[in-house]
Every structure is written in C-alpha cells, then in structure tokens.
Chains A and B, each alone.
Chain A
Amino acid sequence: EDQVTQSPEALRLQEGESSSLNCSYTVSGLRGLFWYRQDPGKGPEFLFTLYSAGEEKEKERLKATLTKKESFLHITAPKPEDSATYLCAARTGANNLFFGTGTRLTVIP
C-alpha cells in the first residue's frame, strides 16, 4: 500500500535556527516527489518537484533533496514568514498525488 509519512508533525524554531523536515515514502513507482507550502485557510503553494535519487533543488532558504526512500526539506536560517505547514506528496501515476499529513513549522522571532 502506498504510504507517505512526514516528520516531525510540528516543529518550533528560533529565527535563524536551521533544521530539516523529513518525508519518507513507500510507493509503487514514484513519478515525482512534490513539496508544497500551505498557509492557514489557503491552498498549497508549489515549492519543488524531485524526480530521481540524488536530485536537489533550492529556492531562497529552502533546499529539497531526494533519496530512494525519503526526501528532506532543509530550511536554512529561517524567518518568521517561513511559518507554515509543509506538505510532501508522491505522484505514482498521472496526476494523482498521495500526500503526507504535513509538518507544521513555527519560526519564533
């Protein structure tokens, strides 16, 4: 059975304190690992897609990496505006995304 697990469920960081969010997946035939950011009351905002083990992508203070079993979202020197829920999702075919339950990040000034 396809499964995507994110950890931790919640993370509180001081401003400037770097950390990583984990997304482990067990899916039959990964066709892309997606990362989204979701603010309260809003739809998910696209961040990255990774397709093959070893691939890395960066955007401002965020860097996503992918291995054969998990993906990491590294946050370097976070700011309060980075506070949000971060979702990862595996695409197993067509445009069907299988989501994890998310990591709720709070960055304290």
Chain B
Amino acid sequence: KAGVTQTPRYLIKTRGQQVTLSCSPISGHRSVSWYQQTPGQGLQFLFEYFSETQRNKGNFPGRFSGRQFSNSRSEMNVSTLELGDSALYLCASSYQTGSNSGNTIYFGEGSWLTVV
C-alpha cells in the first residue's frame, strides 16, 4: 500500500515568488493536513482539509493557503515568499477527521523549500 506522496521533494525559490506543493494521501484517506517544520519552531500545524473543505487552520499568515480536490489530493500554496518560509513542508493523511480512536495520522517524506 503506497504511503503519503509529496512532490516536489526539493525546490529553491526566490523571495517574492510563489510556490505550490502537492500531496497524494494514502488510498482511501480523506483527511489531509499540512505542517511546517523548521529547526527553530519544530513542527507546526498549517491547516487540515476533509472532503474538499478546510476544517482547521493554524496560526499562519494568509500567504499560506491550500485546497483539496475530489480525489482527496491536496495542494498548498505560499505566495510572496520570504526567507523565513524556508522549511520542510510535511503532508499527513488519515482516514477521517476527528478524534476517533484508531484514526491514525501518517506523514509523507516532505518537500524541502529553500527561499533565497
């Protein structure tokens, strides 16, 4: 069974540009969440999508946005990139949203974004 797949794995962008990252969840999973990981702040929640609707949002500026498609695949977009946006962006999927016992959350390998 394939895991969570993220593309691209590595990318370099210039300040002011925008970037789109893609995530394909585990087959059958309908919830996709995004996280930012940096050495200073650790792993921080960006947002969660379930059935094409944003369910939760973390404390990030509006430059960070996302969407989910009918096949559960998700994209996140960062506009007007800043140097501080350099990070590992992780996508996670789970079967459903909510805190039901057994609702495990699995992560992909991440997309490394460097802003220069």
Contacts and interface: CB of A to CB of B under 8 A. Distances in A.
A and B associate in one complex: yes
Interface of A: 31-32, 34, 36, 42-46, 49, 51, 87, 89, 91, 93-102
B64 interface: no
Interface stretch (B12-20, B69-77, B78-86, B98-106): B98-106
B104 A43 contact: no
A46 B56 contact: no
B48 A95 contact: yes
A101 to B, nearest CB: 5
A54 to B, nearest CB: 15
Contact residues of B: prevailing secondary structure: strand
A93 B107 contact: no
Contacts of B110: 42-43
A66 B94 CA distance: 22
B109 interface: yes
30 contacts: A34-B105, A36-B107, A42-B109, A42-B110, A43-B90, A43-B107, A43-B108, A43-B109, A46-B106, A51-B101, A91-B99, A94-B48, A94-B55, A94-B98, A95-B48, A95-B50, A95-B55, A95-B56, A95-B97, A95-B98, A95-B105, A96-B33, A96-B45, A97-B35, A97-B45, A97-B92, A97-B105, A98-B45, A100-B42, A101-B42
Contacts of A101: 42
